[in-house]
Amino acid sequence: MTPNPEIVEVCREDSGARQAVNGADLVLPDGIGVIKGAAMLGTPLKERTPGIEFATHLMDKLAEEGKSLYLLGAKPGVAEQAGAKLAAAHPGLRIAGTHDGYFKEDAPVVAAIRQSGTDVRVRLSGSPQAGAVDGAERRRHRRPAVVRPGGQSGRIRRRGGAGPKILDRPRPGVVLPPVQGAEPHRPDDEAAAVFNPCQAGEETQMSGKLIVFEGTDGSGKATQAKLLCETLAQRGIAYREIDFPRYGNPFAEPANLYLHGALGNRPGDVNAYAASVLYAVDRFASYKEDWGGFYEEGGIVVANRYTTSNAVHQASKLPEGERQAFLDWLFDLEYGRMGLPAPDLVLYLDLPTEVSEKMLRHREQATATAADIHEQDGAYLRRCREGAREIARDLGWSVIDCAAGDAPRTVEDIRREVLSRVEPLLN
């Protein structure tokens, strides 16, 4: 099991969930909140171990040894699709069988799993039926091996591999294996669990905290980011402030040209994927040039916009049915392939489009600047906000309402709420 803070909270209220976690052969902390809480209780843990990363390495090991996998759960057809993706992502991994999560009797499903001879079973959803099979298998027969790494079964269903830390909302239910062939850590175990690099005695890379301010144009992101940095300075906390795009830097010039109409006068003239790459290049360069070393040494980084801005602004260009595939691609590009860190906290400043447009027009007059192609397009800004609210909910962003009715809240009022959201991370 790899519980995160949300799963721990469920365990406080749900005795069944609590028994499942406490009865596991291995429990890995998936979430900085678990690390912090354990330290506060006087039982410090070495480091966070994301369940999806743990699971992916385990699948690689299974593939290396030619072991098999049985996929259980989700809607009809999903397990089969996930099996094909897993087999493609992990050559050598054998798919012993699949079954959806919609069934009334667990006995036939348990029998099918046993007959398949699988080494490992993966649960792709948290359905009660699939949970009953988990319990039946543990009570009656310790094969196939079972581990539950927590909240990113959607990553397995969609791509068959690891993804960004924050892409799916936490939901218990993935079941994945311990590595076969290692020395058992209990007499009745098939195999021991794989320990994380710190436990294995390897040097591990430290990481800091990344706090991102996100929102549609005119919502006050830059203001609140600066106010938070002022608070950190007053407390003597080292920080680095970053802002995207980095106007004036050569690596930001492609994004700047796009925003100011060199590639078309409307946002839709450049498709979501192409526009996202323009911004991603700037972020990658900034990490290498500016703040990457500071972050890796444990520093706090405060960002006005980040990869999350592409999620807000570019996904709105696509039909609703294509947005999830785009988000998968986006987060894999920046957090996976480019190696940029995913945020520890995203503060989404939500402001009604009508109010934000007034703020934008006021800013233009006060600074004698011209609006970019995003800021000029009211319909586009409305689509961005509508899509962003759904994305913020799905990704677990911390949403702050910046208006009371038709009027914006005061800067100081929003600042106090921002600090209340950030304090747990600082402490």
pLDDT by position in tens, the chain (length 427): 788 887 888 788 777 677 777 777 788 888 777 887 887 777 788 777 777 777 788 888 999 999 998 888 777 888 888 888 888 889 999 999 998 877 777 778 888 888 888 888 777 654 444 444 454 444 444 445 554 544 444 444 444 444 333 333 333 333 333 333 333 333 333 333 333 333 333 334 447 999 999 987 778 899 999 999 999 999 999 999 999 999 999 999 999 999 999 999 999 999 999 999 999 999 999 999 999 999 999 999 999 999 999 999 999 999 999 999 999 999 999 999 999 999 999 999 998 877 766 666 666 567 767 677 887 777 888 888 888 989 998 888 999 998 887 788 999 999 999 999 999 988 7
Of residues 244, 249, 271, the one with CA closest to residue 334: 244
Euclidean distance between CA atoms 97 and 83, whole angstroms: 8
pLDDT of residue 343: 94
Task: Please state the three-class secondary structure of 260-293 as a single string.
Answer: CCCCCCCHHHCCHHHHHHHHHHHHHHHHHHHHHH
Euclidean distance between CA atoms 206 and 288, whole angstroms: 16
pLDDT of residue 2: 80
- The pTM of the full predicted model, rounded to 2 decimals, is 0.54
- Give, in order, the Cα–Cα distances in Å from 48 to each of 8, 27, 154, 218, 335: 14, 11, 21, 36, 17
pLDDT of residue 85: 87
Euclidean distance between CA atoms 124 and 154, whole angstroms: 8
The two tokens of residue 83 are 């099996």
